[in-house]
A and B are shown apart, each in its own frame.
Chain A
């Protein structure tokens, strides 16, 4: 609260007094909230950015309230890597009103604003390229508006030709350039990414990317499902590390509900999260290496990934998309001996990571293909909104497990590995080191599994056990009410973030007190990182495109949602 008062005082000297009276300051679940008129967004953002009060723009999104006179909210989430404080800025807009783009202050605002335009039709004045981002080019309307039906499909019958972002500085100098299209179905893109480049010989003259080939309407689906039924959808965001998404989503809802999960559930969540982080890094490194010709790494590492999947299977029967958490705890307890199995597997994986280190870290070809490729400075990375291993490879030691420890992370002993140049090789090294740290965490937690229940037993939140549903009338009624009406968080909103495998995985949830989220927005880490791709590869060799693409660990499910 103290910092919010400071902010209030400082802002009052920056902006005009007439508009300042319209500012509303409040505190919401540990985050500062600032509501301001649309004219003031640029001066306020400039002030916050240039004074270094907040160095990260984490997210920009929209919310639609059709019954309000000013129908839309544009919501900005800022974060400071020095004080670890967060600030939410909200601006109300009526239909047809425009707001100034904040891309001059944070390059990373680009795609977030484009997405908000695509989803809500909110126009950002001064945005360099305000066109659709996720929906296809023939799509009419703005799907996240409340008056757009969730299942109103619109067919598409063509793909866009190769295109580039408008650039006022671009001059055609008569050289003959070769256009090249990669994807959206290409082995090196591991998913549905489309990269378009213009080549001058082997060199990339300019580049562009197209998104949306896996836009599965996660946010709209979340609005049409009860809270617990959203969990399987979160699995399919970053499907390489599904438990991390489960945990992040459930943690968000639990914070809004004001409940804390029991220690045993926390321990299980940490184990699942860290194992998921390891296999996510395995997929990233394995696929990155296979694209550069190192097939052995891929096959070798996937053996260990299978071992982790075997553990998941033992726990719940599913391998990839586990949906293991529930709001309030876990879906079920671990079977007897499971934690010992985890310990055993951790030992094996550790050996695998060492072998990976031997295979790649000193490998001449690997080093030549990755060192100095895709290098990015810390400032650039922050301006783009990098988080996670890619940011840490650039030398910024920011890990939410340390910065803003949740669950038991504060009491665990682990390091945050960082690199220095931010190139593909450093990203690889950071990931390898992180795998070791994650294994360390899993071991520490497994050695001291807390006693007690795996879920809270609040009747308004968690389903009763099967024996109670079948055995007594209270259980039956409780079950019926929860299934029919769903759990209902209080009216309010929350932004909660966890450290995903790719970086900050944030959920912004608006609750209207009903059984379904009014609005659920995901801040996907690789979305922010991928924005910088065109700039990173321009001027480099075409072969390096593949190297950089692999190192960013782009998961289409999370990128396009």
Chain B
């Protein structure tokens, strides 16, 4: 993937703006408007700046997530305002709130419906570890059932902390960090797709 956009002009001549130009001219022209990069870098750049989140708000954190999307904190500044409620249209799952044992299979089901590349932010103490609900009906962290890229601490986290989490995810995408938790993830037995 080392093709650079500057050296793609292979044909003898082409038409720019309705006038015919020669190779050398094209080279010259391209220097004025093009830059070179790696294809995977520019894809990562696009990905990180257009994350489409699916808000999986279950509890208090869901309410704070509304603030993150709302006018004051405005997640749109980071290109992640296109909230999708269909997992098939989203590439970022924000789990905001307590996941109970009853909810866990549904969470896995939703995660499986998302298309790659997909990312997960676990927002708040409950989603990350069960929080202070060390209780009979609460899943002790969503990483028990789905792979998580960023954990955001707080109960609930401040909107600033969530923005920081999104930025951390953007860095992770931009720098092509390996994601063994995702690559080695196996769906729980009950959720194996036939």
Contact = CB atoms under 8 A, between A and B. Distances in A.
Contacts of A283: 63, 66
B59 A557 contact: yes
Interface centre among A135, A157, A216 (most CB of B within 10 A): A216
Interface centre among A148, A159, A214 (most CB of B within 10 A): A214
A185 B86 CA distance: 10
A152 B136 CA distance: 5
Interface stretch (A301-309, A335-343, A357-365, A420-428): A301-309
Interface stretch (B5-13, B43-51, B102-110, B172-180): B102-110
Nearest to B85: A187
Interface string A184-200: 11110011100000000
Interface in B105-164: 105-107, 109-110, 126, 132-140, 155-156, 158
Given A213-B103, A319-B158, A221 B60 contact: no
Contact of A302 (B67, B101, B126): B67
Contacts of B59: 191-192, 214, 216, 236, 239, 556-557
A149 B63 contact: no
B156 A213 contact: no
Given A135-B137, A156-B101, A214-B100, A190 B62 contact: yes
A9 interface: no
Interface residues of A, number: 50
Nearest to A321: B60
A320 B100 contact: no
A148 to B, nearest CB: 7
B188 interface: yes
A302 B60 contact: no
Interface string A152-168: 11111111000000000
A281 B77 CA distance: 28
A153 B136 contact: yes
Contacts of B188: 157
Interface residues of B, number: 43
Contacts of B66: 283, 302
A233 interface: yes
Contacts of A150: 134-136
Contacts of B107: 185
Contacts of A84: none
A151 interface: yes
Contact of A213 (B62, B71, B100, B189): B100
Contacts of B106: 159, 184-185, 213
A88 interface: no
Nearest to A286: B66
A217 B105 contact: no
**What 10 A-B pairs are tightest by C-beta distance, nearest first?**
A217-B135, A157-B190, A239-B60, A136-B102, A187-B85, A302-B70, A156-B101, A306-B72, A215-B137, A213-B103
Interface of B: 56-60, 62-64, 66-67, 70-72, 85, 97-98, 100-107, 109-110, 126, 132-140, 155-156, 158, 188-191
23 contacts: A134-B137, A135-B102, A136-B101, A148-B136, A150-B134, A150-B136, A153-B138, A153-B139, A156-B101, A156-B102, A184-B103, A185-B58, A185-B106, A185-B110, A191-B62, A213-B106, A216-B100, A216-B126, A232-B132, A303-B70, A320-B60, A320-B156, A557-B59
